[in-house]
Amino acid sequence: MARRALTTTAAAFATAAALLLTACGGGDDSASDDIKGAGDSSPSPAASKSSAAPGVKRPVIKLPSSFQLTFENWTSSAPGGQAALDDAKEEVRAGYAAIIANDPDSEAVTFYDTKGIRGLTKEWIKSYTDKDLTVIGKLPAFDPKLVMAENGKGASLTYCTDETDAKTRNRKTGKVEGNPAGTNPYVRYSVSLAKSEQGVWQNSSVRGERGKCSR
């Protein structure tokens, strides 16, 4: 279920340079097209609201019980850090919810991605939906490390996922598949976050590297 590596936009480069943050951009395509999509059972409760920008109406994102996307120890005591982590989690949830709903044009994804990478996120979603794939199983996201910019308008985030129990299911045939034998199930993501004028933390770049994490 590794996310397609997304190319950093020029704006993301500028942001990273200004903030002296290194975890941004480009990508290792070896970490991109493995497992995707999810089942069609009844949805779980909506996500908890972000602690940031309380006046902003955030999209309601639901995931089915057949796909358990969990976030372990996603907490921060840094000023503004919890808000950034909360929105970063919702961006991840929005992407998989779009795969499950067969909706590459998801409004929730648009909400949590900057304009520069929305098209690339759509390509990642379509790499599942175009093949009639959805995701099932379990995908824990763990070991988040967040660095906030001094000006409070940007952040760098890394985290890991464990794809051991994550699988794809073909919507038409019902065939279930996991990663190919011998594939390292751990993927580390490096994300650049930018705070919008409305106070929403959005992904401005994502990079996935397989085999760079462990439990």
**Residues 22-52: pLDDT tens digits?**
222 333 333 333 333 333 333 333 344 444 4
Check pLDDT > 60 for residue 204: yes
Q: Parallel, antiparallel, or unpaired for β 133-148 and 166-170? A: antiparallel
Distance CA 185, CA 47 (A): 26
pTM above 0.85, yes or no: no
Q: What is the pLDDT of residue 55?
A: 80
**Confidence label for 53 from pLDDT (cuts 50, 70 and 90):** low
Q: What is the pLDDT of residue 1?
A: 67
Q: What is the mean pLDDT of residues 175-187?
A: 96
Q: What is the pLDDT of residue 215?
A: 86
Distance CA 48, CA 54 (A): 12
Q: What is the mean pLDDT of residues 159-182?
A: 97
Q: Which two tokens stand for residue 149?
A: 């910019």
User: Could you tell me what percent of the chain has a pLDDT over 90?
Assistant: 73
Confirm if 71 and 91 have CB atoms less than 8 A apart.
no
CA 60 → CA 71, 99, 198, distances in Å? Answer: 18, 15, 17
Instruction: Classify the C-alpha dihedral 78-79-84-85 as positive or negative.
Output: positive
Q: What is the pLDDT of residue 54?
A: 63
What domains lie within the chain, and their CATH numbers? 10-210 (3.10.450.50)
Q: What is the pLDDT of residue 181?
A: 94
Confirm if 168 and 129 have CB atoms less than 8 A apart.
no
User: Could you tell me what percent of the chain has a pLDDT over 70?
Assistant: 75
Encode pLDDT of 141-158 as tens digits.
999 999 999 999 999 999
Check pLDDT > 80 for residue 21: no
**DSSP strand E in 23-174: where?**
67-71, 133-148, 154-162, 166-170
Indicate the average pLDDT of the chain.
Answer: 82
Distance CA 184, CA 214 (A): 10
Check pLDDT > 50 for residue 130: yes
Run of H or E residues at 56 = none
Distance CA 193, CA 174 (A): 37
Q: What is the mean pLDDT of residues 83-109?
A: 98
